[in-house]
């Protein structure tokens, strides 16, 4: 046991292949170039064969598998070698070494067998051409390919298991650039001769056997070719075979030399050179050999390029939008994942090489974003101001040239600034006060003169940024001057709709980036910098798809022949089905509450902060998202009788559904491994299942699931749907959707099957292997109590695995001919609704720790006052004198009664009068009901406290009041925003009003507002009451609000203030911008009306503007002003204006100034 512990804690040093001499730096750069060529070449080969239907033959299917193996092979060794060389960190853990050995040996073995299969394919094609389609049918090709992968993986597992069973107690230095078995064995202090013989036998099997097949196949091929009478046929046969023979010669020659010569003849330099040859050069040469010597591949590539030009470059706007979207994906991936991983793992370090990379990429993508936004402004200018010359000025060649010029200049710009920054010494501190590495933060850490850096930054920033800004402004001045000359209002609206999103994006991006990068580095505003960095590094990639989505989806849906589908659902309106529907809703509620409780329970209870429960919390979170993806939409469709779903919504549902299923597959495998380590290796549990490893396993599950979701959603939505629109399911599922496509989906169905094999069978193999070891360990336990405890911890997981995988395999891996819509719906309902409900029940009922933690948290909530060090709060109100308190109480009561009567009158009038059943009065009715609730949260309690001289309020009561005040305020703001949109549509687009503001849209927006308010209020209330309140219990306010409580806290409230600032600016700012934009467009339209119509339009808008202004100005002042400023009386007065005045004025404003309400 001690020896094995030492073995697993061991680290090796990879000496590498290059040093830092000039010639070796050149060779390292050459290797990187070869790697890039190999990576791009093999990726292109895989994509080309996938997209080009003429290459869907056995020969090219096998070639795509070879390219995929080469792609994985170079990624196994080169990236780690490059990182070690650049960072001067040559250490590799035993686990990392083992992973490298497994993939390296597995891929080599798989390629051996695949090359033999390719030789057999050429033999059948030339010697038995008439029987080719039978002997090399699709099923056989897949079986041979899967067999190659499996045999290679078995070889990798055997070699890895044997290599890691040795003790390594001598030197740590591996004289190689990656972990190779031959280089690792000399470091072992045990006898490895038996393993070397085993290795030799494996090499004989993995090399000689395939070589025999290849030699036998090509002997028969040669005999057949010699007998051919036509010289053209012989030439064609040799052409198809020579490519394969070239690859075989390169691959087997180097591999046999490496592994089958005597150990005494090995020298490290020879080994490294030969390994470099067949791990770097061969993967690079494979795609070159097959493309240069193969007309079909060359023609397919040219055809694909022509097709791509045909599709994409006929619309320059969407060409640039697609490039911008790809750029945004890369841009946000540079900063956010690393920030999230650091936060989850509580690690704030980044290597210098990582920091250099991040600085370079951030600068590059900032520069590219700016240039693309400038080019898109130019595109809009030409499209609107010079439409007849658009196809000439914005031709495909110019679009490509502008894109390439942007990329190349971005590389130069980023390279100059990164090099100029990292030539400085950094000796003051190593703490960067930022979410990611950027050079304004780095310049503050330098102990040398940074004047030249700042001057270069200002000069380049003002030159390029200023030039782009001037160009954009000039373009839009020309655009607006042209647009105002349009005779048609519809044309003006269309032109503005394509320009305004672009202007918003440019303004946000340039203002935030300019402030951070161009101000003097001596000014320190850390928090401000972090917030602003979010606005130029995260907000643009986030909002670009939202802003441009409308245009993109319209174009996309037009190309798909079908703008949406009809979900037939699972229930009809018979009594039995109504009962089943409500049963499903009950199950959904139980699943939602159960999984939410499990996530919160594990988060709140420190005793459950273990790897097992961390993974369980991730499973509950996935289940929570999974049921929320399908059931709410199904329930909405059933209750509203509206079964339509748009193509975009269908795509989102497919993505989340497939992603979460895939993520759960891998997470269940990780949980099985966790149980294996806990039972079989308990002494090493804390090492093998450390916080970092748990975080990485959970993150890997999410990423792999998301990749699967992206692939399936993208490919599914790339098909044309021009047949029936009815999906026989209650949500958008890929198998159900494919039956509606009018294009051939056979290849994609096979790809789904392969994905299911990987996403299901691979995790299942890990689970079976883990539990096989667990059962063996449990059987050998001496204690019956120990066996019982071990089975108790595993049985819950095994039940979940059985439920989940059984249903998933049944639905996705059975033949299409055996499927029926009814079966699919039943099984889908089982594993999308029942399984998420059963998971928390299984883990809670069969787990004492969860039950104990639940009781503990319940007691904690009951005694929350003890944890906050305050048992109750005192609401001071407006005055101490009895007369003034009575006056205030009477005034508040009168306002309260007037508010209730007025709002109740509006609710009654708008409900009973059929003429008032319009969207405007629907929202007004909801607003009135909300106002009645809003004012009832604060005023009755304030009056009772004043009249009874009892100022106390419990902690639970205070928490409830804060939650309800924030909830009502948030929903009020959202309702006012929706009502502004309603007025805009009614006045500016009256003919489209019934379509845009239809009943379903109104209901949906109301539900979204209510749910958003719950989330917003829950976050702020929970974040406030996690603090300790030990200074005082006196609240200088007539009700509990967040700013007053934060002043009483003795904890660090920086996070609360930052969250409050960001959310209020984000939600409130967005609503303000939307409302202002709506009313600008309303007023510009109203001013064109006749005088009488203007008065009518203004009468419906002015009341809404008054309410919004009063509500937002008072609320913003109270919540956004610094907490250090204490103005109790002013705060209380302003609180009246956002908590009491709006509910009081709404019925007065909307009834006195509204003829329909009066009537």
Mean pLDDT of 186-192: 76
pLDDT at residue 558, as a whole number: 44
Q: Which domain holds residue 711?
A: 564-862
DSSP per-residue string spanning 761-774: IHHHHHHHHHHHHH
- Bridge partners of 91, per DSSP, are 13
Cα(1026)–Cα(1019) distance, rounded to whole angstroms?
Answer: 11
Question: Which of 815, 841, 862 is the last residue in one of the domains?
Answer: 862
Mean pLDDT of 1056-1066: 78
- Looking at the fold, whether 854 and 887 belong to one and the same domain comes out as no
- Name the more confident of 780 and 923: 923
Per-residue pLDDT reduced to its tens digit, 986-1045:
888 888 888 888 887 888 888 888 888 888 888 888 888 878 777 677 877 778 888 888
- Looking at the fold, whether 192 and 285 belong to one and the same domain comes out as yes
- Looking at the fold, whether 858 and 873 belong to one and the same domain comes out as no
| Short-list 211, 287, 197, CA closest to 256 | 211
Per-residue pLDDT reduced to its tens digit, 955-988:
878 888 888 888 888 888 888 888 888 888 888 8
Q: Is 370 exposed, middle or buried (0-12, 13-18, 19+ CB in 10 A)?
A: buried
Per-residue pLDDT reduced to its tens digit, 643-684:
778 777 788 888 888 888 888 888 888 888 888 888 888 888
**Inter-residue contact 328 to 544 (CB < 8 Å):** yes
Distances (CA, A) of 925 to 155, 829, 904, 912, 1109: 71, 37, 9, 11, 20
- Looking at the fold, whether 951 and 818 belong to one and the same domain comes out as no
- Looking at the fold, whether 29 and 46 belong to one and the same domain comes out as yes
DSSP per-residue string spanning 649-691: HHHHHHHHHHHHHHHHHHHHHHHHHHHHHHHH-GGGHHHHT-H
Domain CATH number, residue 130: 1.20.1070.10
Residue 448 lies in a domain: no
Residue whose tokens read 């009943």: 999
pLDDT at residue 325, as a whole number: 77
Question: Which of 803, 837, 862 is the last residue in one of the domains?
Answer: 862
- Mean pLDDT is highest, among 129-143, 774-788, 795-809, 1035-1049, for 129-143
Q: Is 868 exposed, middle or buried (0-12, 13-18, 19+ CB in 10 A)?
A: buried
pLDDT at residue 551, as a whole number: 47
- Looking at the fold, whether 985 and 857 belong to one and the same domain comes out as no
Mean pLDDT of 478-484: 76
Cα(628)–Cα(626) distance, rounded to whole angstroms?
Answer: 5
pLDDT at residue 516, as a whole number: 62
pLDDT at residue 1031, as a whole number: 67
- Looking at the fold, whether 696 and 620 belong to one and the same domain comes out as yes
pLDDT at residue 407, as a whole number: 86
Cα(208)–Cα(202) distance, rounded to whole angstroms?
Answer: 10
Per-residue pLDDT reduced to its tens digit, 197-227:
777 776 766 667 777 787 787 788 777 777 7
- Mean pLDDT is highest, among 518-527, 579-588, 835-844, 984-993, for 984-993
Question: Which of 255, 276, 304 is the last residue in one of the domains?
Answer: 304
- Looking at the fold, whether 131 and 202 belong to one and the same domain comes out as yes
**Inter-residue contact 142 to 239 (CB < 8 Å):** no
Strands 872-875 and 173-174: unpaired
- Looking at the fold, whether 329 and 255 belong to one and the same domain comes out as no
Mean pLDDT of 756-783: 76
Residue 515 lies in a domain: yes
Per-residue pLDDT reduced to its tens digit, 861-890:
555 444 445 667 877 666 666 666 677 778
**Inter-residue contact 806 to 765 (CB < 8 Å):** no
pLDDT at residue 554, as a whole number: 44
Domain count, the chain: 4
- Mean pLDDT is highest, among 172-176, 350-354, 685-689, 1088-1092, for 685-689
pLDDT at residue 5, as a whole number: 41
Residue 468 lies in a domain: yes
| Short-list 1039, 878, 1048, 869, CA closest to 959 | 1039
Q: Quick check: 293 pLDDT over 60?
A: no
- Looking at the fold, whether 853 and 871 belong to one and the same domain comes out as no
pLDDT at residue 828, as a whole number: 65
Per-residue pLDDT reduced to its tens digit, 720-744:
777 667 787 777 877 777 777 777 7
Structure tokens at 98: 């083992």
- Name the more confident of 311 and 1016: 1016
**Inter-residue contact 637 to 643 (CB < 8 Å):** yes
Average of per-residue pLDDT values in the chain: 75
Confidence class of residue 1158 from pLDDT cuts 50, 70 and 90?
Answer: low
- Looking at the fold, whether 578 and 550 belong to one and the same domain comes out as no
Q: Quick check: 251 pLDDT over 50?
A: yes
Residue 451 lies in a domain: no
- Name the more confident of 795 and 873: 873
- Bridge partners of 565, per DSSP, are 645
Per-residue pLDDT reduced to its tens digit, 575-589:
777 777 777 777 888
- Looking at the fold, whether 505 and 636 belong to one and the same domain comes out as no
pLDDT at residue 7, as a whole number: 42
Cα(931)–Cα(941) distance, rounded to whole angstroms?
Answer: 16
The percentage of residues in the chain with a pLDDT greater than 90, rounded to a whole number, is 0
Name the DSSP letter for residue 646: E
Longest CA pairwise span in the chain (Å): 119
pLDDT at residue 609, as a whole number: 84
Confidence class of residue 413 from pLDDT cuts 50, 70 and 90?
Answer: confident
pLDDT at residue 868, as a whole number: 46
Cα(614)–Cα(678) distance, rounded to whole angstroms?
Answer: 14
pLDDT at residue 82, as a whole number: 74
pLDDT at residue 739, as a whole number: 75
Residue 450 lies in a domain: no
pLDDT at residue 493, as a whole number: 65
Confidence class of residue 552 from pLDDT cuts 50, 70 and 90?
Answer: very low
Phi and psi at residue 360, in whole multiples of 5°?
-60, -50
Confidence class of residue 797 from pLDDT cuts 50, 70 and 90?
Answer: low
Residue 683 lies in a domain: yes
Sign of CA dihedral 1145, 998, 553, 751: positive
Residue 845 lies in a domain: yes
């Amino acid at each position: 046991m001690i020896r094995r512990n030492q073995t697993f804690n061991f680290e090796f040093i990879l000496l590498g292949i290059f040093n830092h001499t000039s010639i070796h730096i050149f060779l390292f750069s050459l290797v990187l170039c070869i790697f890039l060529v190999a990576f791009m070449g093999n990726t292109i080969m895989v994509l080309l064969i996938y997209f080009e239907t003429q290459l869907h033959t056995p020969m090219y299917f096998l070639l795509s598998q070879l390219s995929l193996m080469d792609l994985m092979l170079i990624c196994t060794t080169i990236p780690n070698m490059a990182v070690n060389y650049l960072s001067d960190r040559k250490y590799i853990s035993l686990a990392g070494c083992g992973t490298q050995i497994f993939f390296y040996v597995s891929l080599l073995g798989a390629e051996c067998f695949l090359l033999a299969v390719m030789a057999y394919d050429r033999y059948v094609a030339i010697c038995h051409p008439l029987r080719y389609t039978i002997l090399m049918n699709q099923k056989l090709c897949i079986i041979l390919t899967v067999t190659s992968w499996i045999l290679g993986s078995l070889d990798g597992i055997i070699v890895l298991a044997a290599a890691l069973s040795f003790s390594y107690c001598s030197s740590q230095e591996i004289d190689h650039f990656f972990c190779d078995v031959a280089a690792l064995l000399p470091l072992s202090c045990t006898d490895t001769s038996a393993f070397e013989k085993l290795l030799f036998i494996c090499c004989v099997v993995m090399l000689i056997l395939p070589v025999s097949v290849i030699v036998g196949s090509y002997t028969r091929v040669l005999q057949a070719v010699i007998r051919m009478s036509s010289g053209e046929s012989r030439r064609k046969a040799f052409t198809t075979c020579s490519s394969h023979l070239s690859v075989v010669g390169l691959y087997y020659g180097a591999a046999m030399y490496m592994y089958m010569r005597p150990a005494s003849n090995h020298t490290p330099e020879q080994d490294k050179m030969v390994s470099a040859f067949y791990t770097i050069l061969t993967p690079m040469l494979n795609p070159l050999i097959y493309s240069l010597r193969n007309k079909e591949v060359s023609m397919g590539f040219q055809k694909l390029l022509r097709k791509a030009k045909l599709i994409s470059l006929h619309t320059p706007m969407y060409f640039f939008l697609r490039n911008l979207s790809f750029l945004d994906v890369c841009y946000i991936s540079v900063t956010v994942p690393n920030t999230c991983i650091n936060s989850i793992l509580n690690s704030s370090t980044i290597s210098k090489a990582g920091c250099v990379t991040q600085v370079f990429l951030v600068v590059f993508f900032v520069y590219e974003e700016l240039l693309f936004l400038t080019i898109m402004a130019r595109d809009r200018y030409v499209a609107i101001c010079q439409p007849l010359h658009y196809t000439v000025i914005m031709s495909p060649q110019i679009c490509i040239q502008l894109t390439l010029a942007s990329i190349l200049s971005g590389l130069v710009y980023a390279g100059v600034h990164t090099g100029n920054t990292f030539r400085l010494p950094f000796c003051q501190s190593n703490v960067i006060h930022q979410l990611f590495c950027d050079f304004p933060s780095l310049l503050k850490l330098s102990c040398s003169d940074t004047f030249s850096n700042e001057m270069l930054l200002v000069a380049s920033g003002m030159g390029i940024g200023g030039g782009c800004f001037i160009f954009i402004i000039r373009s839009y001045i020309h655009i607006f001057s042209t647009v105002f000359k349009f005779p048609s209002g519809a044309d003006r609206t269309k032109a503005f709709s394509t320009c305004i999103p672009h202007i918003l994006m440019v303004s946000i991006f340039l203002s935030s980036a300019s402030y951070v990068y161009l101000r003097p580095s001596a000014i320190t505003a850390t928090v401000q910098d972090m917030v602003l960095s979010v606005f130029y590094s995260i907000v643009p990639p986030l909002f670009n798809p939202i802003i441009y989505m409308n245009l993109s989806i319209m174009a996309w849906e037009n190309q798909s022949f079908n703008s949406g589908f009809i979900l037939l659902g699972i229930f009809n309106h018979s009594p039995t089905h109504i009962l089943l529907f409500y049963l499903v809703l009950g199950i959904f509620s139980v699943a939602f509450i159960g999984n939410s409780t499990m996530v919160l329970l594990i988060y709140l209870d420190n005793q459950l902060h273990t790897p097992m429960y961390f993974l369980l919390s991730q499973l509950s979170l996935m289940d929570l998202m999974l049921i929320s993806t399908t059931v709410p939409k199904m329930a909405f469709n059933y209750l509203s009788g509206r079964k339509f779903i748009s193509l975009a919504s269908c795509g989102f549902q497919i993505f989340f559904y497939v992603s979460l299923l895939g993520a759960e597959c891998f997470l269940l495998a990780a949980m099985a491994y966790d149980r294996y380590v806990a039972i079989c290796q308990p002494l090493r549990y804390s090492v093998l299942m450390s916080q970092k490893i748990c975080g990485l396993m959970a993150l890997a599950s999410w990423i792999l699931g998301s990749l699967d979701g992206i692939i399936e959603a993208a490919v599914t939505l790339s098909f044309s749907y021009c047949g029936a629109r009815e999906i026989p399911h209650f949500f958008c599922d890929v198998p159900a959707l494919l039956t509606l496509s009018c294009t051939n989906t056979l290849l994609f169905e096979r790809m789904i099957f392969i994905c299911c094999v990987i996403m299901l069978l691979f995790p299942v193999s890990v689970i079976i292997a883990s539990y096989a070891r667990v059962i063996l360990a449990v059987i050998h336990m001496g204690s019956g109590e120990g066996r019982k405890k071990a089975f108790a911890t595993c049985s819950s997981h095994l039940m979940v695995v059985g439920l989940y995988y059984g249903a998933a395999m049944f639905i996705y891996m059975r033949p299409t001919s055996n499927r029926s819509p009814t079966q699919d719906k039943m099984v889908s309902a089982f594993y999308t609704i029942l399984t998420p409900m059963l998971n928390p029940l299984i883990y809670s009922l069969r787990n004492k720790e969860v039950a104990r933690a639940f009781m503990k948290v319940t007691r904690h909530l009951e005694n929350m006052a003890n944890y906050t060090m305050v048992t109750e709060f005192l609401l001071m109100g407006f005055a101490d004198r009895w007369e003034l308190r009575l006056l205030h109480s009477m005034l508040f009561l009168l306002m309260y009664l007037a508010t209730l009567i007025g709002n109740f009158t509006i609710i009654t009038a708008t409900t009973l009068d059929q003429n008032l059943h319009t969207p405007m009065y629907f929202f007004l009715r909801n607003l009135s009901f909300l106002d009645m609730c809003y004012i009832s949260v604060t005023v009755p309690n304030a009056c009772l406290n004043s009249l009874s001289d009892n100022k106390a309020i419990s902690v639970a009561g205070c928490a409830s009041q804060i939650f309800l005040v924030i909830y009502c305020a948030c929903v009020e703001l959202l309702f006012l925003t929706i009502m502004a949109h309603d007025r805009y549509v009614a006045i500016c687009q009256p003919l489209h009003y019934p379509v845009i503001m239809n009943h379903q849209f109104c209901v949906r927006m109301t539900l979204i507002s209510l749910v958003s308010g719950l989330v917003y209020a829950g976050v702020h209330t929970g974040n406030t009451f996690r603090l300790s309140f030990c200074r005082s219990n006196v609240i200088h306010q007539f009700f509990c609000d967040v700013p007053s409580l934060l002043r009483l806290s003795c904890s660090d409230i920086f996070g609360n203030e930052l969250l409050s600032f960001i959310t209020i600016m984000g939600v409130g700012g967005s609503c303000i911008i939307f409302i202002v934009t709506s009313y600008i467009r309303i007023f510009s339209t109203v001013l064109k009306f006749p005088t009488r119509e203007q008065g009518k339009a203004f009468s419906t808008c002015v009341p809404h503007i008054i309410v919004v202004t009063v509500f937002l100005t008072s609320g913003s002042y109270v919540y956004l002003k610094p907490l250090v400023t204490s103005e109790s009386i002013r705060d209380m007065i302003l609180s009246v204006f956002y908590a009491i005045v709006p509910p009081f004025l709404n019925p007065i404003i909307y009834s006195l100034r509204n003829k329909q309400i009066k009537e």
